[in-house]
Amino acid sequence: MIKGHPKGLMVAAIANMGERFGFYTMMAILTLFLMSKFNITGTEAGGLYSIFYGSIYILALVGGIIADKLQNYKATIIAGLIIMAAGYVFLSMPALITHKYIALAALLVIAFGNGLFKGNLQALVGQMYDNDEFRNKRDSGFQIFYMFINVGAMFAPFLATWVRNTFVSMQGFAYNADLPGLCHQYIDGKMSEKVINGTFTELAKTVSNGAMPTNLLEFANNYLNAFNTGFHYAFLTAVVAMVISLLIFIISKNVLPNPKAKTNTKAKSNISKEEIQQDAQEIKQRIYALLAVFGIVIFFWFSFHQNGLTLTMFAKDYTLLGGIFKSVEIFQSINPFIVVFLTPVIIAFFSALSKRGIEPSTPKKIAIGMGIAALAFVVMAIGSLGLPLLNDVKAQGALVDSSKVTPWLLFSVYFILTVAELFISPLGLSFVSKVAPAHMQGLMQGGWLAATAVGNFSLFLGAVMYENISISITWSVFVGVCLMSMITMLFMVKWLERVAK
């Protein structure tokens, strides 16, 4: 599969595994950690979550500018890995993270490091395919890159959950997704007598190895302390992943392109071959085309990245856990798992179409991806019909198991969303590297990530809807957003295809 691709591709992918590992650690536990640690609503957690995920991508624009100015992508990438690791270390310290805004500060440290790292490594991948030998393999190259960086992400939710649950077990308790919220309700005096004597008491006994706690207030405080400290230590798994990626990158960075060295070899001019071919009007058209695509993908990421927010909350509040899905966090392994194992199928599919001369263009693939994303939320909306409002669930302590939905609903939705992602994300990155003017590669890769940031800054709107209106209507909003984006993209396809030639 990697035959005929530049040898630096695998080095870049393996170096990126640490960032993906940390990203999916956050995807799995961040919302749950914030709600449990600071006793905040899903809407408040969604606000912090949106700021963090938006900052990750908007700061990639800053990172792209820095790398383009310095023409030293590799040093910028190394700095990003070190700063990300420091942020995860901060989050792992219970004595330091005592307020939600201190947690946000640590998250922003991670976001800044990610900004220096993410877009610039992707720009290096794009530069490998500027060589005429590899130019026609750009799309499949980015698909392979996207597949391998998700290998680490498959294991991140499992390891984070294992660390958290192991620590909880060491304190004499067992994991239960409903208990952190119930413990806060009890401590705050907001729990009805019916719930105290029913659901709360039963769960307290269950997680205490069958021994009924003599003091429920003491139990609630001890359980929360064990649960939240376990979350803190789970962030250390991301630190280890960052260190491994850093070492791999430092050892192997010489096989990656070196824009600074390439520029210095120009004896009489700093203008590259590609720049000579791109006159001012063409460059302008390319930038307009990229901005148009950026505008479309905003709505995909607004919908897709609900996986770490409202879809995670749905797993906690409405989904029957058990079997391979014993913890809420495990659902976040579905996406990277499917990316890794479905990417070769997608590549083979497009390769077969290409041989027949009927492979759709990258803009068409992105439009198709938006339609597939809409389908995922159609499934989610249908599967959520008849479920009670979240406030009604909280009033009764927790939803009884007989009223919860099968975990395979979320599995099917994650599967469909991942197929949509494979049509949009790696191919979008390929489109950017192909269309971006030669001297603006880092900036335009940062622009793609900045578009993702705009979608992510809006994520909290999903939590607002989730906590206040019908669950099925919430998912229907995302159906509408994705369909509108698909239709708009289809209207622009011909223009985008002309610009990309």
In angstroms, how far is CA 28 from the centroid of its own chain?
A: 9
Distance CA 224, CA 230 (A): 10
pLDDT reported for residue 442: 65
Lowest-pLDDT choice from 137-151, 307-321, 417-431, 457-471:
137-151
Among all chains, which residue has been given the structure tokens 């990003």?
80
For 50, the token pair is 């949106």
pLDDT reported for residue 1: 59
The pLDDT of residue 48 is above 90:
yes
pLDDT above 90 as % of the chain = 54
In angstroms, how far is CA 283 from the centroid of its own chain?
A: 31
For 139, the token pair is 């799309």
Among all chains, which residue has been given the structure tokens 């907001």?
190
The pLDDT of residue 180 is above 90:
yes
The pLDDT of residue 272 is above 60:
no
In this structure, are residues 178 and 198 in contact, taking their beta carbons and an 8 Å threshold?
no
pLDDT reported for residue 266: 43
Of the candidates 303, 296, 302, 307, which has an alpha carbon nearest to the alpha carbon of residue 454?
302
pLDDT reported for residue 436: 78
In this structure, are residues 449 and 118 in contact, taking their beta carbons and an 8 Å threshold?
yes
214: which DSSP letter?
Answer: S
Mean pLDDT value of segment 430-443? 75
Question: At 271, is the pLDDT very low, low, confident or very high (cuts 50, 70, 90)?
Answer: low
Question: At 6, is the pLDDT very low, low, confident or very high (cuts 50, 70, 90)?
Answer: confident
End-to-end CA distance of the chain: 26
In this structure, are residues 384 and 469 in contact, taking their beta carbons and an 8 Å threshold?
no
Quickly list H helices, 190-215: 193-195, 201-207
> Per CATH, the architecture of 8-214+221-254+280-500 is what?
Up-down Bundle (1.20)
The sign one gets for the Cα dihedral 390, 315, 425, 120 is positive
pLDDT reported for residue 267: 42
pLDDT digits 0-9 by tens, 77-122: 999 999 999 999 999 999 999 999 999 999 999 999 998 998 788 7
Quickly list H helices, 132-279: 138-149, 151-170, 179-187, 193-195, 201-207, 216-234, 236-252, 259-264, 273-277
pLDDT reported for residue 432: 81
In this structure, are residues 336 and 20 in contact, taking their beta carbons and an 8 Å threshold?
yes
pLDDT reported for residue 265: 44
pLDDT reported for residue 380: 97
Among all chains, which residue has been given the structure tokens 């607004």?
302
**Domain regions of the chain by residue span:** 8-214+221-254+280-500
Give the DSSP letter string of 467-481: HHS-HHHHHHHHHHH
Of the candidates 461, 464, 493, which has an alpha carbon nearest to the alpha carbon of residue 54?
461
The pLDDT of residue 235 is above 80:
yes
In this structure, are residues 141 and 9 in contact, taking their beta carbons and an 8 Å threshold?
yes
Residue 354 burial (CB < 10 Å; 0-12/13-18/19+)? middle
